[in-house]
Structure 1
Amino acid sequence: RIIKEIKNTLIQSKLISEDKNEIGKHRDERYKKFNEKFLILNKAKVFNNSYLNIDLNDIEQEYSHLTRNDYTEFNICYLNLISFRQEMKLVQCGVNEKIAENDTTVQHVTSMLINMKRVSIDMPSFKTKINERIDELLNNYKSITNDSMTFTKLGTLLNQDKTGIGQTIISEHKSFQGYSLSLFNEKTRRHGITYVLSNLEGDSIERKLLEKRYEQFNRLYQELVQQNLKPNMKLDKLIENIKLIAGNRKQDPENIEWDADIRRKVPELAAHIFALWTLKNAEHYFEAEGSDNRDNYLLQPHAAQVISIFRMLGIGDKNEELKNNLVQIGTGEGKSITLGSMACILALLGFDVRCACYSQYLSHRDYT
């Protein structure tokens, strides 16, 4: 009788709770109690696994047709399945994850990635796992095609996605770092030195002098990059030259040295520091072999960053004095690189440098 009651209780019980706010601990406990009842039935040789019939293939088919309103409900089911698999040890139920896709055309891969990312966004419980699968798919696709142009085309199609999901893939997955860099460089190149100077606001600005200093910087920067940009490059000589230019200085807070010789060195030091930064991060450039815009795959300073450094150091004003200056740089315009390069220049010129930030997260992220 007891066995029969347990059997009927299990058959009549609703495994999936409809409570959207059910705590994970309570859900685990519920399935644990179910498992205890299964244990009794199993020992009595009464219960047969046929009572539990979960066809995961059918779930997979239904899953692809979910409407947005169904995502929340499915998410609850998934959380229940996690607890089920964890606590119901006697029930043989395996979840096999497999990607079997023969169509590797760039259009189809684009569509598949967008669909996967859509589910990742709308179903938080799947996010980590699906993002891992997206990374795996991208790495495999890059390896199979072995063609930077095909991968660039994939990035272009994702970037043109009108839903915005394609752009999210580009920004969140490392495989597209090179492509993201090329997009950024393409945009910033439209805002060259002429645009920056015409939109620059501030006190005591000598635009002609500032432009002259920038041209000195840019000419030397381009030369240094072209001279050293090669596979397996050795940068020891470039690093030694940076030290030689700076000299061995130690600034006295009571008597800061900022003469014409030091001011002349600022554009030169900036060019060498930025060239070193570009060359040490040139892996995407070599991956983009065959691309028409290969230079866009290099990390490069844009005019606004360089001018910001010059202005903070007083370069380009009437007297070119070193004094307190405040520079405003918009979100995503490269504050971290500007600050890091500025700190390097000042440290090389003998100053003690301390950088402060309002955000602990940004401080940890940008600390190197």
Structure 2
Amino acid sequence: MLLRKIGVENFRQLRGEFYCSEGLNIIFGRNGQGKTNWMEAIYILATGSSFRTSKIQETIAFDKEIASIWGEVLQGYDIERFLQVFIEKKRRLFFVNGKRTSIENYLEEMHAIVFNADQLEIVRGAPEARRKFLDSSIVAIYPAFYKTLSDYNRCIKQKNALLEEAQKRELPKSYVAERIEPWNEQIIHLAYRIHKARIRYVELLNEILKEKLFAFGEEEVSLRYVSSLEGKGDLSNYESLMRERLDLRLEAEMAVGHSLVGVHRDDMEIKINGWDVRKYGSSGQQRSVLFLLLLANLTIYRGRTGRYPLFLIDDIDAELDYMRLERLLAFLDSRSQTFVTTSKESFMERFRFMGRVFMVEDGRIFS
């Protein structure tokens, strides 16, 4: 997979377009000039979402109604694609070779993996970051999973609206139970599918991690999916157990005004040499574990699609020492097209032989 060219219009403060190197692309410039914005544009083109904000409409330039990102992509030796993402105030539109398509179909075209400071939340932050990591990874190889997640979140939102109403109006339990049952049945069905997909993906990650394909230390890294239903009954009969827990927790849900049962409360345990990396891992170990997870993701994507994703490293100055960086870039060199941002001339001079340097100034990018 190769991003040959990318351009933007009305996206943040960026202007213009640029042709990308097949290998390493070093995006250099002073802070505040737009380096991260260009990385964000590449990521949105590849995944349809931003790694910086959940409100993608925030990327539309001031006083504009719509932003667009477009790119020329080469898949294999002779399959060319022209991809476009339009961002409006209330929706996104996706186009492949000039024809509008669904996000599920669009996500089959390309993918990108990003490393930055915020991604460290996967290793050391709250469960939400690990759930998001798993879900976005699964969507990358099974785009239809996007609809499963969307349907689940929609059902939870509708259920929460009912629970909030019940809390405010002090509605009787029998009335609430009757109204909420149809949503619970959908939630049970969708949660089971999400639960199975996440467990299977964790198994895939563990298989890759055991092979030790990546030279980032000798630590043993292991993962375990932790269901919020764990310890509450027989997980092998997941749907029945969840139905039982939903019935038992209805009064508590009515009291707090939101859902307390479901896969939106699950987690993934990450251990290094048998210890919880979130609690006991050093900052260096946490960074190494994150890289191992991202490279395992890259390997799984390659195995499922036959293509390597783009690999983006934003603000490399803050997050990596040169020893880890050299190992990483050596691994990626013959695999993924790589983009890194830096404000340090020393980094630019040291690694420019591996690819191409681009300068960013006031939102414009040039080589």
Give the TM-score, by structure 2 length: 0.22
Bigger Rg over Cα: 1
Larger RCO (alpha carbons 8 Å, 6+ apart): 2
Q: TM-score, normalised by structure 1?
A: 0.22
Structure richer in helix, relative to its length: 1
